């Protein structure tokens, strides 16, 4: 293969994109080398008819990672396969499953349960299995879209069922008696894209999978699990945490692929209002992305642009079309947007149009990131850091056809993590973050213990064995609260409703707030209950589909906010009054005089008012008080206790301590996603000059979910690494006194005041200097 020409192709394309600009926009170029073809051996246990069926869909050879994982699964070893996009992970479970089905008498075949994070991906897998035309495979989908007759058929006749965690939790497990035929023969369970179950969702999935293992064992089955994921650190450990038994990890991706060039594109004229703090100027990221997409489409380059929100996907597509209307009107209809929320038929049509080359440009959200079959575009734009390296690699993996080289462009947004990565490009392709989950979170476990007790009454030994050492204590508590009743040795569910209906595995149990348009009574959006006080309080400016709405009424009790559509010259930012009390220190290290702690805290907060900021400049033009309810969150936190002698030695005067600690807190929150797969909205923080419980200046960073999500703990365990990158990010930011790329935060409840960049750097350096070497 000629290696030069492909390189030149990506380079030439980049050069063309930059033509005419005096300051180059590309600040670094990274290369991911091509992977030559390697071939694994076919396992001796695979019957000829299975190999023939796979040959029928073009699989003549196996990659080494496929043979290894297939062999593990066949021999009942739980295995986590963490390799790239289009590395053929499904063959690793189809090969042993089809082989096992061939061996068995008809009607007595072993069964396979496939669990996917999204309905779309599950349906895609189902379609691919059907394309095998393998008589022993009887596949069915069991999800919210399946009609009753299909569900009945699935329960009685299918030996492969594709579903999602929600259906497993609400549909299959509570009605396990109806699934006896399937569960009794359950030999394989596939958890696809398991890197997406992070934080509290991961803790829920862990509980659901333990319930599944328990119910299966009740029917005499002990299934083997295969977890498939994007490249993450230590996949075997993560899968073990999810299923509760040891699993092996396979991370050597040996799928053949062409070279990928990753360019970091730093827009030139990213002007930020220097007149003071304010919400970040997101518009420039969107316009830069639209411009690049238009240029690539204009050159006939098939391109996917990944953006962070549904709305951004629509705006980028619309702007790109508008740019093309001027330059190349015949191309503008070959650009579209793709996001979750579209109907399955709409999505399928977009996928097909893209594959066939009818579409040249597609602006997409992460909905397109998971295993859906659209590999094979020429270039990928990644607008804003996707949150994790695993996700970046998934998106990059969408570019490139076979062994052809491909181009990916990362366009950083205005926030600490994006800026840090843009100036430390070697970090971008470093080892992926680990998945953080906490299977012992009592807030998560309680509901699942009720569900498990309703499925099959649970005794103490059972509880410890399946749900860990905390479970028996929780059962006692649930009995005291009247959810469970103990009879002889076991606990029973005694309430009329189904416990599975009380647990929402997607997160908060609180009902979201509906935002209703006043004139039309139309529902325009729903806002997460936890964020509603901050975003749809009376007087808030709420932007929806690019249009400003003034919130004219908000009733938290009824979960409703009324919005009036009107153009306003300002945006709003909520002000909160928060305090943190330490409930229990669970782990502790001393860095010289500085204390680093992990434990349980109680965060009390109230929205006390809001600022009005002039659009564009961010200048504060008004301040209004609000009288709202106080909320208490009991969660896990990591914190630093910094005595005054450390601050004095670092030349931080008493009046600057608040601004130093506040700046360090914001930056640390912005950087935690580098270590744990979370985003800055999953965590919160608080800093005080002198905290009543510690007597010192204290900086807290806490999990945003009751009971904790594991992120703060990960921060505690990697505290030194975390603060080191935090201080680097702040110190390397070219701004003078703080900006959204370093110490300002878009969710600050104090209007980003006080903040002192220079003192924050001195504080972080002083804390790090006390750390053990």
- Where would I find the beta strands (DSSP E) of 483-569? 484-487, 490-493, 513-517, 523-527, 541-544, 547-555, 560-565
Nearer to Zn ion, 293 or 742 (CB): 742
DSSP state of 105: P
Nearer to Zn ion, 160 or 748 (CB): 748
CB under 8 Å to 171, separation ≥6 — which residues? Answer: 142, 163
Nearer to Zn ion, 391 or 741 (CB): 741
Q: Which of 57, 181, 735, 769 binds Zn ion (CB under 5 A)?
A: 735
433-472 mask for Zn ion (x: CB under 5 A)?
----------------------------------------
Nearer to Zn ion, 196 or 741 (CB): 741
| Beta carbons within 10 angstroms of residue 157's beta carbon | 12
DSSP state of 172: I
Q: Which of 121, 742, 760, 763 binds Zn ion (CB under 5 A)?
A: 742
Give the DSSP letter string of 715-733. HHHTHHHHHHHHHHHHHT-
Residues between 229 and 258 that touch Zn ion (CB under 5 A)? none
In the complex, the smallest distance separating the C-beta of residue 663 from Zn ion, rounded to whole angstroms, is 9
Q: How far apart are CA 116 and CA 114, in angstroms?
A: 7
Stretch near Zn ion under the rule CB under 5 A, chosen from 82-90, 161-169, 241-249, 735-743? 735-743
In the complex, the smallest distance separating the C-beta of residue 692 from Zn ion, rounded to whole angstroms, is 19
CA angle 745, 746, 751 (to 5 degrees): 75
Do the beta carbons of residue 229 and residue 389 sit within 8 Å? no
Nearer to Zn ion, 236 or 659 (CB): 659
DSSP state of 176: G
Stretch near Zn ion under the rule CB under 5 A, chosen from 10-18, 149-157, 210-218, 741-749? 741-749
CB neighbour class for 584 (10 Å; exposed up to 12, middle 13-18, buried from 19): exposed
Task: Please report whether residue 294 would count as binding Zn ion according to CB under 5 A.
Answer: no
| Residue count, binding to Zn ion (CB under 5 A) | 7
Stretch near Zn ion under the rule CB under 5 A, chosen from 198-206, 381-389, 426-434, 743-751? 743-751
Structure tokens at 84: 């790239």
Stretch near Zn ion under the rule CB under 5 A, chosen from 337-345, 369-377, 635-643, 729-737? 729-737
In the complex, the smallest distance separating the C-beta of residue 611 from Zn ion, rounded to whole angstroms, is 13
Helices 199-218, 460-467: crossing angle, 10 deg rounding: 130
Mapped onto helix, strand or coil, the DSSP state of residue 641 is: strand
Structure tokens at 98: 């089809």
Q: Which of 733, 758, 761, 763 binds Zn ion (CB under 5 A)?
A: 733
Nearer to Zn ion, 295 or 752 (CB): 752
In the complex, the smallest distance separating the C-beta of residue 701 from Zn ion, rounded to whole angstroms, is 12
What are the two backbone dihedrals, phi and then psi, of residue 687, each rounded to the nearest 5 degrees? Answer: -135, 145
CB neighbour class for 271 (10 Å; exposed up to 12, middle 13-18, buried from 19): exposed
In the complex, the smallest distance separating the C-beta of residue 574 from Zn ion, rounded to whole angstroms, is 12
In the complex, the smallest distance separating the C-beta of residue 761 from Zn ion, rounded to whole angstroms, is 11
Q: Of the candidates 593, 623, 574, 562, which has an alpha carbon nearest to the alpha carbon of residue 695?
A: 593
Task: Please report whether residue 761 would count as binding Zn ion according to CB under 5 A.
Answer: no
- Pairing between strand 139-141 and 26-32? unpaired
In the complex, the smallest distance separating the C-beta of residue 429 from Zn ion, rounded to whole angstroms, is 24
Nearer to Zn ion, 251 or 745 (CB): 745
Stretch near Zn ion under the rule CB under 5 A, chosen from 577-585, 587-595, 622-630, 742-750? 742-750
Task: Please report whether residue 748 would count as binding Zn ion according to CB under 5 A.
Answer: yes
112-131 mask for Zn ion (x: CB under 5 A)?
--------------------
CA angle 373, 374, 375 (to 5 degrees): 105
Nearer to Zn ion, 664 or 674 (CB): 664
In the complex, the smallest distance separating the C-beta of residue 728 from Zn ion, rounded to whole angstroms, is 13
In the complex, the smallest distance separating the C-beta of residue 745 from Zn ion, rounded to whole angstroms, is 5
Nearer to Zn ion, 29 or 608 (CB): 608
Task: Please report whether residue 667 would count as binding Zn ion according to CB under 5 A.
Answer: no
Cis before 487 (ω within 30): no
In the complex, the smallest distance separating the C-beta of residue 479 from Zn ion, rounded to whole angstroms, is 42
Task: Please report whether residue 731 would count as binding Zn ion according to CB under 5 A.
Answer: no
681-720 mask for Zn ion (x: CB under 5 A)?
----------------------------------------
Measured CA to CA in angstroms, residue 603 lies from 279, 557, 664, 687 at distances of: 25, 21, 19, 12
Structure tokens at 137: 């495979």
Give the DSSP letter string of 742-769. TT--TT-TTTT-S--HHHHHHHHHHHHH
Stretch near Zn ion under the rule CB under 5 A, chosen from 61-69, 274-282, 531-539, 748-756? 748-756
Q: Which of 532, 647, 739, 758 binds Zn ion (CB under 5 A)?
A: 739
Q: How far apart are CA 522 and CA 722, in angstroms?
A: 45
Q: Which residue has the tokens 């099959």?
A: 456
Q: Of the candidates 363, 333, 318, which has an alpha carbon nearest to the alpha carbon of residue 545?
A: 318
Do the beta carbons of residue 569 and residue 561 sit within 8 Å? no
Task: Please report whether residue 741 would count as binding Zn ion according to CB under 5 A.
Answer: yes
Nearer to Zn ion, 658 or 707 (CB): 658
Binding site for Zn ion (CB under 5 A): 733, 735, 739, 741-742, 748, 750
């Amino acid at each position: 293969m000629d290696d030069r020409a492909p390189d030149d192709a990506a380079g030439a394309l980049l050069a063309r994109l930059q033509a005419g600009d005096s300051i180059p926009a590309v600040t670094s170029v990274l290369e991911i080398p091509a992977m030559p073809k390697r071939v694994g051996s076919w396992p001796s246990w695979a019957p000829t008819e299975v190999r023939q069926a796979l040959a029928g869909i073009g699989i003549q050879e196996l990659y080494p990672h496929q043979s290894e994982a297939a062999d593990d699964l066949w021999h009942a070893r739980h295995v986590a396969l963490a390799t790239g996009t289009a590395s053929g992970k499904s063959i690793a479970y189809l090969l042993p499953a089809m082989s096992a089905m061939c061996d068995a008498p008809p009607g007595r075949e072993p069964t396979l349960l496939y669990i996917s994070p999204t309905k779309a991906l599950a349906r895609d897998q189902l379609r691919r299995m059907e394309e095998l035309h393998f008589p022993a495979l009887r596949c069915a989908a069991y999800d919210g879209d399946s009609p009753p007759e299909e569900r009945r058929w699935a329960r009685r006749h299918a030996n492969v069922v594709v579903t999602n965690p929600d259906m497993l939790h609400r549909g299959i497990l509570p009605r396990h008696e109806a699934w006896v035929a399937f569960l009794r023969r359950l030999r394989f369970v596939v958890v696809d894209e398991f890197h997406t179950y992070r934080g509290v969702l991961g803790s829920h999935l862990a509980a659901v999978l333990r319930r599944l293992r328990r119910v299966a064992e009740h029917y005499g089955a002990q299934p083997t699990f295969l977890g498939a994921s994007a490249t993450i650190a230590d996949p075997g450990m993560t899968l073990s945490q999810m299923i509760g038994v040891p699993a092996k990890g396979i991370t050597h991706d040996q799928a053949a692929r062409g070279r990928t060039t990753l360019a970091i594109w730093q827009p030139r004229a990213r002007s930020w209002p220097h007149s003071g703090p304010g919400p970040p100027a997101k518009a420039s990221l969107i316009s830069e992305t639209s411009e690049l997409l238009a240029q690539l489409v204009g050159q006939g380059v098939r391109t996917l642009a990944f953006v962070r929100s549904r709305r951004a996907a629509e705006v980028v597509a619309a702007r790109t079309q508008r740019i093309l209307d001027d330059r190349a009107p015949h191309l503008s209809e070959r650009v579209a947007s793709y996001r979750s929320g579209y109907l399955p038929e709409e999505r399928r049509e977009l996928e097909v149009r893209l594959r066939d080359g009818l579409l040249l440009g597609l602006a997409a959200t992460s909905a397109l990131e998971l295993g859906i079959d659209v590999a094979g575009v020429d270039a990928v734009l990644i607008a804003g850091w996707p949150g994790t390296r695993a996700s970046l690699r998934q998106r990059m993996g969408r570019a490139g056809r076979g062994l052809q080289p491909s181009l990916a462009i990362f366009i950083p947004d205005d926030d600490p993590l994006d800026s840090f990565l843009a100036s430390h490009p070697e970090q971008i392709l470093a080892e992926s973050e680990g998945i953080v989950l906490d299977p012992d979170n009592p807030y998560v476990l309680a509901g699942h213990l009720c569900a498990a007790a309703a499925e099959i009454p649970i005794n103490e030994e059972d509880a410890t064995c399946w749900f860990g050492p905390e479970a028996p204590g929780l059962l006692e508590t649930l009995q005291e609260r009247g959810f469970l009743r103990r009879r002889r040795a076991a606990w029973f569910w005694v309430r009329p409703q189904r416990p599975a209906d009380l647990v929402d595995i997607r997160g908060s149990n609180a009902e979201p707030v509906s935002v209703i348009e006043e004139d039309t009574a139309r529902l325009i959006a729903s806002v997460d209950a936890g964020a509603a006080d901050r975003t749809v309080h009376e007087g808030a400016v709420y932007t929806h589909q690019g249009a400003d709405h003034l919130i004219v009424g908000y009733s938290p009790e009824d979960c409703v906010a009324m919005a009036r559509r009107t153009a306003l010259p300002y945006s709003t930012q909520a002000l909160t009054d928060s305090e943190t009390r330490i409930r229990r220190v669970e782990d502790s290290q001393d860095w010289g005089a500085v204390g680093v702690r992990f434990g349980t805290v109680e965060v009390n907060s109230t929205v006390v008012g809001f600022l009005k900021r002039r659009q564009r400049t961010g200048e504060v033009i008004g301040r209004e008080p609000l009288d709202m309810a106080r909320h208490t969150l009991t969660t896990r936190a990591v914190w630093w206790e910094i005595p005054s002698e450390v601050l004095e030695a670092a030349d931080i005067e008493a009046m600057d301590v608040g601004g130093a600690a506040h700046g360090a807190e914001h930056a640390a929150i912005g950087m935690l996603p580098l270590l744990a797969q979370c985003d800055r909205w999953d965590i919160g923080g608080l800093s005080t000059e002198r905290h009543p419980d510690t007597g010192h200046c204290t900086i807290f960073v806490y999990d945003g979910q009751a009971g904790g999500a594991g992120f703060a703990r990960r921060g505690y365990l990697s505290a030194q690494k975390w603060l080191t990158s935090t201080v680097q990010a702040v110190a390397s930011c070219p701004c003078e006194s703080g900006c959204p790329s370093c110490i300002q935060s878009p969710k600050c409840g104090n209007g980003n005041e006080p903040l002192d960049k220079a003192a924050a750097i001195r504080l972080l350096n002083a804390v790090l200097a006390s750390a053990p070497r």
